[in-house]
């Protein structure tokens, strides 16, 4: 799978090597093809010993009573519907709806993924079936910390009274989404480990792409243009409502769910009463409960647009998807997230081929985790990365030409148990007389960092910068010294740049 607008250099895998899109790493050492061939030869159906059909795999379920969990029965799709299919007439956000597991963030990301057909085929191999070569075994692919992995599962799904406990098929016939969810639950440790999160996490695991988050309470001036470019670039887009008291008030008055993740599925300018109105289309992964304000499905404002526009926008109603005015979107939603293969959508430069370079690193308490204070010798025990910007294109001084990503790679297997440190980085200009290799504190003791990022307690920190010709030293660190964690550092550059 080639990424549009992106050139991989110095990545964690060679093109075609293990961990690449065409040759993903086998998660837990399970080889899908070998397992399926063996099962078919023995005329058996697969039961995954590494993710067994029991309460451990279901995990902690905060919103489901214990007595209900005791009723859980693991059934295969063909047990639920003899006419079950993997995919029917392509994949769509309307193929599924959320169940009792609180993973709306993940499902909103699946909805966004369905707009990226090439990427969808990478994550969800389409040559799978409940008829041809069926042995109760399926597989899916995710990008995990620099490498693609192939995740094998059986098709036993948790049900109560033959009703799926988690994601279910809207048609009660199509099962690619419940099986995709199970594969991701296996990666997270259990279904319970998928509870609560933000769409960018799943966006990243579906693509390895670049994410940008926007605070809608103080929207950037070019937000509408950014969203337009994002839609044209086939990005994945999501948003979230307010939690707490403000979220409760909005929910009661306007029908939005508080603290809930939605998908952003389109933007459109319509003419209404001789005025241009900017509209945003939003999708609730519940498959129901919609916005009831201006431009909602039942709004009289749709009578003010042309029959053609009304027909285009109102094909379906009461399906969880709705339109709202851009101003209302920024008022009643707290944040928006966009993810694409390359940063092209950010500035609209569709011609640019970004270079992308990834490296693995690790902070070790007492050895290489010196904290953020660059005036101390301890700081200079942190990992160092030297980046040489060899060329700069464009006539606009100050154009952002480099993106830095710092992503924590936890040692903990279960997602719920992961604690992320507050992370950031400093960028120094390397003087011409600097030797090769690691650079000493003495060389920089009188120098301020050229860039000092904010520190955030997050899985991934992303920052855009303008770097001129020259050599730079990037030092990633934790806000508190002596923290141990692995990380992935990535540099995206508009022009030729090398990282070592």
Domain boundary residue, one of 288, 316, 340: 340
- pLDDT exceeds cutoff 80 at 279: yes
Mean pLDDT of 418-441: 91
Strands 321-325 vs 385-389: parallel, antiparallel or unpaired: unpaired
Q: Are residues 445 and 493 in the same domain?
A: yes
Mean pLDDT of 78-87: 94
Query: What residues form DSSP beta bridges with 154?
Result: 137
Q: What is the CATH number of the domain that holds 273?
A: 3.90.70.10
* 127 vs 316, more confident: 127
List, for residues 432-485, the tens digit of each pLDDT value. Answer: 888 888 888 888 888 889 999 999 999 999 998 888 888 999 999 999 999 999
Mean pLDDT of 217-233: 88
Distance CA 241, CA 284 (A): 11
Mean pLDDT of 163-188: 93
Q: Are residues 198 and 240 in the same domain?
A: no
The per-residue pLDDT of the chain, averaged, comes to: 89
Q: What letters, b where the CB count within 10 A reaches 16 and e where it falls short, cover 49-85?
A: eebebebebbbebeebeeeeeeebebbbbbebbeebb
Distance CA 148, CA 387 (A): 25
- CA quadruple 8, 13, 17, 20: dihedral positive or negative? negative
Provide the pLDDT confidence category of residue 113 given band limits of 50, 70 and 90: very high
Catalytic residue among 139, 260, 337, 421: 260
Please report, to the nearest 10 degrees, the dihedral formed by the alpha carbons of residues 257, 260, 261, 266 taken in order: 20
- pLDDT exceeds cutoff 70 at 348: no
Please give the pLDDT value at position 251: 85
Distance CA 96, CA 73 (A): 20
Provide the pLDDT confidence category of residue 1 given band limits of 50, 70 and 90: very low
Number of structural domains, the chain? 3
304 located within any domain: yes
Q: Are residues 196 and 222 in the same domain?
A: no
Contact 305, 347 (CB under 8 A): no
Please give the pLDDT value at position 7: 63
DSSP string, 398-424: T---EEEEEEEE-S-SSGGG--PPEEE
Enclosing domain of residue 393? 353-499
Distance CA 287, CA 94 (A): 7
Question: What HEC string does 296-363 produce?
Answer: CCCCHHHHHCCHHHHHHHCCCCCCCEEEEEHHHHHHHEEEEEEEECCCHHHHCCCCCCEEEEEEEEEE
Mean pLDDT of 354-363: 90
Please report, to the nearest 10 degrees, the dihedral formed by the alpha carbons of residues 222, 223, 228, 230 taken in order: 110
Distance CA 144, CA 306 (A): 47
Contact 395, 499 (CB under 8 A): no
Distance CA 389, CA 319 (A): 49
171 located within any domain: yes
346 located within any domain: no
Lowest pLDDT segment from 18-22, 120-124, 171-175, 188-192: 18-22
Q: Are residues 230 and 289 in the same domain?
A: yes
Domain boundary residue, one of 190, 207, 224: 207
Q: Are residues 226 and 306 in the same domain?
A: yes
Domain boundary residue, one of 186, 207, 228: 207
Mean pLDDT of 82-89: 93
Q: Are residues 390 and 401 in the same domain?
A: yes
The predicted model scores a pTM of: 0.91
Catalytic residue among 103, 104, 139, 337: 104
Strands 460-465 vs 402-409: parallel, antiparallel or unpaired: antiparallel
- pLDDT exceeds cutoff 60 at 4: no
Q: Which helix (H) or strand (E) holds 138?
A: strand 137-144
Specify the 3-state DSSP secondary structure of 232.
helix
Contact 202, 109 (CB under 8 A): yes
284 classed as catalytic: yes
Please give the pLDDT value at position 2: 41
Contact 59, 415 (CB under 8 A): no
Contact 197, 309 (CB under 8 A): no
330 classed as catalytic: no
Q: Are residues 86 and 184 in the same domain?
A: yes
Burial of 273 (C-beta count, 10 Å sphere; 0-12/13-18/19+): exposed
111 located within any domain: yes
Provide the pLDDT confidence category of residue 315 given band limits of 50, 70 and 90: confident
Instruction: Say what percent of the chain tops pLDDT 90.
Output: 61
345 located within any domain: no
Q: Are residues 413 and 279 in the same domain?
A: no
1 located within any domain: no
Please give the pLDDT value at position 395: 46
Mean pLDDT of 359-366: 94
348 located within any domain: no
260 classed as catalytic: yes
288 located within any domain: yes
- pLDDT exceeds cutoff 90 at 496: no
Q: Are residues 402 and 336 in the same domain?
A: no
Q: Are residues 323 and 396 in the same domain?
A: no
Q: Are residues 84 and 222 in the same domain?
A: no
Q: Are residues 64 and 141 in the same domain?
A: yes
Catalytic residue among 284, 355, 382, 401: 284
């Amino acid at each position: 799978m080639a990424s549009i607008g992106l050139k991989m250099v110095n990545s964690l895998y060679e093109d075609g090597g293990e961990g690449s899109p065409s040759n993903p790493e086998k998660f837990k050492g399970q080889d899908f093809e070998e397992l399926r061939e063996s099962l078919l030869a023995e005329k058996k159906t697969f039961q995954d010993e590494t993710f067994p059909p029991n309460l451990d795999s279901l995990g902690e379920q905060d919103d489901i009573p214990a007595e209900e969990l005791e009723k859980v029965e693991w059934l295969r799709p063909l047990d639920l519907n003899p006419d079950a299919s993997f995919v029917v007439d392509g994949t769509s956000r309307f193929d599924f709806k959320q169940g009792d597991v609180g993973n709306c963030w993940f499902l909103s990301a699946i909805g966004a993924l369905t707009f990226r057909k090439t990427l969808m085929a990478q994550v969800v191999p389409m040559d799978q079936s409940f008829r041809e070569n069926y042995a109760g075994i399926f597989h899916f692919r995710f990008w995990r910390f620099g490498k693609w992995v192939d995740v094998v599962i059986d098709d036993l799904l948790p049900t109560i009274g033959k009703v799926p406990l988690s994601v279910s098929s809207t048609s009660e016939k199509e099962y690619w989404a419940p099986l995709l969810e199970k594969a991701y639950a296996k990666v997270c440790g259990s279904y319970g480990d998928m509870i609560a999160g933000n769409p960018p996490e799943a966006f990243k695991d579906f693509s390895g792409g670049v994410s940008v988050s926007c605070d809608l309470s103080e929207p950037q001036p070019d937000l509408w243009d950014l969203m337009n470019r994002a839609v044209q670039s086939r990005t994945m887009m999501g948003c979230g409502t307010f939690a707490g008291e403000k979220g409760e008030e909005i929910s009661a008055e306007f029908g939005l769910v508080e603290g809930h993740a939605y998908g952003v599925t389109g933007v459109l300018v319509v003419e209404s009463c001789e005025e241009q109105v900017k509209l945003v289309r939003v999708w609730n992964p519940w498959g129901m409960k919609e916005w009831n304000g201006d431009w909602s499905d039942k709004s009289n404002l749709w009578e003010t647009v042309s029959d053609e526009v009304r027909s285009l926008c109102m094909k379906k109603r009461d399906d969880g998807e709705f339109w709202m005015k851009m101003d209302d979107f920024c008022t009643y939603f707290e944040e928006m997230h966009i993810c694409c293969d390359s940063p092209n959508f950010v500035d609209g430069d569709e011609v640019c081929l970004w270079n992308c370079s990834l490296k693995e690193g690790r902070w070790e308490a007492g050895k290489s985790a010196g904290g953020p204070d660059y005036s101390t010798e301890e700081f200079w025990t942190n990992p160092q990365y030297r980046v040489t910007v060899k060329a700069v294109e464009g006539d606009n001084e100050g154009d952002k030409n480099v993106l830095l990503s710092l992503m924590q790679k936890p040692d903990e297997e279960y997602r719920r148990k992961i604690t992320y440190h507050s992370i950031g980085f400093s960028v120094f200009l390397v003087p011409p007389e600097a030797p090769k290799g690691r650079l000493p504190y003495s060389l920089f003791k009188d120098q301020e960092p050229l860039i000092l990022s904010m520190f955030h307690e997050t899985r991934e920190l992303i920052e855009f910068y303008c770097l001129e010709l020259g050599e730079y030293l990037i030092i990633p660190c934790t806000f508190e010294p002596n923290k141990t964690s692995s990380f992935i550092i990535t540099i995206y550059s508009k022009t030729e740049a090398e990282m070592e």
